[in-house]
Amino acid sequence: QKEVEQNSGPLSVPEGAIASLNCTYSDRGSQSFFWYRQYSGKSPELIMFIYSNGDKEDGRFTAQLNKASQYVSLLIRDSQPSDSATYLCAPLGQNFVFGPGTRLSVLP
Q: Shortest Cβ distance from residue 59 to another protein (Å)?
A: 15
Return the residues of window 21-60 that contact another protein according to CB under 8 A.
32, 34, 36, 41-46, 49, 51
Q: List, in order, residues 6 or more apart from 92 with CB less than 8 Å away.
A: 30, 31, 32, 33, 34
The smaller minimum CB distance to another protein, of residues 79 and 86, is found at: 86
Cα(93)–Cα(25) distance, rounded to whole angstroms?
A: 10
The residue from 13, 92, 93, 105 that contacts another protein (CB under 8 A) is 92
Single residue of 19, 101, 104, 106 touching another protein by CB under 8 A: 101
**Among 47, 45, 28, 44, CA closest to 92:** 28
- List contacts with another protein (CB under 8 A): 32, 34, 36, 41-46, 49, 51, 88, 90, 92, 95-96, 98-101
